[in-house]
């Protein structure tokens, strides 16, 4: 590792936790196709406590779970057990009960109609089914409230049996789609999603510090989630955890992991589907996952309906963005230095990763603070990625 690069990257982490209003702690790593070339940690696992943030700290990785779930579905596609054009109801019949929201009556009750198009696996993988999250849609939140549907962080099946905001295929709307994909995988494999991941992703990639249920050792290394209030005050929320064990293995957000374990997954994508213990995906499948599946639709930003969970935001506003299986794709080069056509996504508690298959590098920035796109953690991620590319260019 270049000492000058290490010093520059360390400085980004130190600034992110050291500035007034900075995050309590952060872990960041960068890899090439062979191994991590940077591992850094700064701050504390919990504000006001002595336990330092370390590279092996365990975090709730939220929606960075989605890409792993997407791999388990694409493995089924490779095996000919499913097709992306298949109606989802063939595997999860309950999804056929979902209806399109057509406004609300005077008494606040939702008005519903049948969708004009069936939800396919492709719609779910691309977030074009019409499903959303309650914190990104006031209408979804109002519907859930009217119908008594639990929050998505309850990790329950009831939480994903919600409503469509539009007909399948009409728009890109980010939501509980990959949770349904997880149910499809379970139906075809006849196993819990966590077991499928263990057998078909984690084992061949030698990923051990990861799962829907934390081991006691992982629990002991867990970073606490924090809340940033509107006035900037940061408070630890030690009891804010996903259910252990969950009722349902949530393919959209349910994994806990240390960041080093996710780097092994990133390297598999960089290496066209190959891991330490063999091939996880075919090379042409990885290439397919890294291409946009959208036709005439672009990925935009989001408006919060629960400000304590997410700020309004967008990644690189003004830059055209698409969606693959299942990553966001920047259609033009980013200001941070990432070339056009590469991959990224994020997790609710301000976790961010990118995968640059063109240059053979990737990185992950992990923190545990809400709301999403935090005023300190997100700029820290952009600065970290920028630092990586600046030193690659030297």
Residues 6+ apart with CB under 8 A from 318: none
DSSP-assigned letter for residue 44: B
Here the tokens at position 206 are 């030698």
Q: Find out whether 64 and 347 touch, Cβ atoms under 8 Å.
A: yes
Report d(CA 142, CA 66) in Å as an integer.
25
E-only strand ranges, the chain: 25-31, 36-43, 58-60, 100-104, 110-113, 210-211, 226-228, 234-236, 256-258, 274-275, 278-279, 321-323, 328-330, 342-347, 351-356, 361-366, 369-370
SS3 234: strand
Which one-letter DSSP state was computed for residue 138?
A: H
Do the beta carbons of residue 387 and residue 38 sit within 8 Å?
no
| Angle at alpha carbon of residue 350, lines to 186 and 15, rounded to 5° | 150
Long-range pairs for 219-222: beta carbons < 8 A, 24 or more residues apart:
219/58, 221/45, 221/54, 221/56, 221/57, 221/58, 221/258, 222/45, 222/57, 222/58, 222/59, 222/256
Identify which of 169, 172, 177, 184 has the alpha carbon closest to the alpha carbon of residue 117: 169
Contact 210, 352 (CB under 8 A): no
Q: Which of 143, 174, 262, 325 is catalytic?
A: 174
Q: Which of 66, 183, 264, 321 is catalytic?
A: 66
Q: What is the rounded CA–CA span in Å between residue 301 and residue 314? A: 4
- C-alpha–C-alpha distance, residues 123 and 171, integer Å: 10
228 SS3 class:
strand
Residue in 63, 129, 305, 367 annotated catalytic: 63
Give the number of other Cβ atoms within 10 Å of residue 58's Cβ.
25
**Using an 8 Å Cβ cutoff, are 198 and 341 in contact?**
no
* Catalytic residue flag (residue 63): yes
6 among known catalytic residues: no
Catalytic, 295? Answer no
Catalytic annotation, residues: 63, 66, 174
């Amino acid at each position: 590792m270049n000492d000058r690069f290490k010093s520059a990257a360390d400085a980004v982490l130190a600034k992110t936790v050291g500035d007034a209003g900075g995050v309590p702690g952060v872990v960041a790593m960068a890899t090439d196709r062979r191994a991590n070339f940077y591992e850094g940690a700064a701050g504390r696992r919990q504000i006001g406590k002595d336990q330092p943030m370390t590279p092996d700290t365990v975090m709730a990785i939220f929606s960075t779970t989605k890409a792993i779930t997407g791999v388990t579905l694409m493995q089924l596609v490779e095996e000919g057990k499913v097709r992306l054009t298949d109606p989802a109801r063939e595997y999860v019949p309950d999804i056929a009960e979902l209806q399109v929201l057509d406004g609300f009556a005077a008494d606040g009750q939702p008005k519903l109609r049948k969708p004009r198009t069936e939800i396919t696996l492709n719609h779910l993988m691309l977030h074009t089914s019409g499903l959303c999250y309650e914190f990104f849609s006031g209408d979804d939140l109002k519907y859930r409230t009217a119908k008594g549907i639990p929050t998505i962080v309850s990790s329950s099946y009831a939480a994903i049996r919600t409503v469509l905001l539009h007909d399948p295929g009409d728009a890109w709307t980010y939501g509980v789609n990959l949770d349904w994909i997880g149910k499809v995988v379970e139906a075809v494999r006849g196993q819990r999603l966590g077991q499928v991941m263990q057998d078909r992703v984690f084992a061949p990639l030698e990923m051990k510090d990861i799962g829907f249920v934390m081991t006691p050792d992982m629990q002991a290394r867990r970073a606490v989630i924090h809340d940033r209030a509107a006035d900037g005050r940061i408070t630890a929320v030690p009891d804010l955890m996903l259910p252990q064990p969950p009722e349902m293995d949530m393919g959209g957000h349910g994994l806990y992991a240390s960041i080093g374990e996710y780097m092994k997954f990133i390297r598999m994508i960089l290496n066209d589907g190959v891991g330490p213990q063999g091939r996880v995906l075919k090379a042409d499948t990885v290439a397919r996952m890294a291409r946009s599946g959208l036709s005439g639709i672009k990925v935009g930003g989001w408006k919060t309906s629960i400000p304590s969970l997410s700020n309004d935001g967008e990644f690189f506003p003004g830059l055209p963005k698409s969606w693959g299986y299942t990553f966001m794709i920047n259609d033009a080069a980013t200001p941070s230095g990432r070339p056009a056509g590469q991959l990224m996504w994020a997790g609710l508690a301000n976790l961010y990763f990118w995968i640059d298959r063109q240059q053979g590098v990737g990185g992950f920035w992990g923190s545990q603070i809400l709301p999403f796109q935090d005023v300190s953690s997100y700029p820290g991620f952009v600065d970290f990625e920028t630092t990586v590319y600046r030193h690659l260019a030297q």
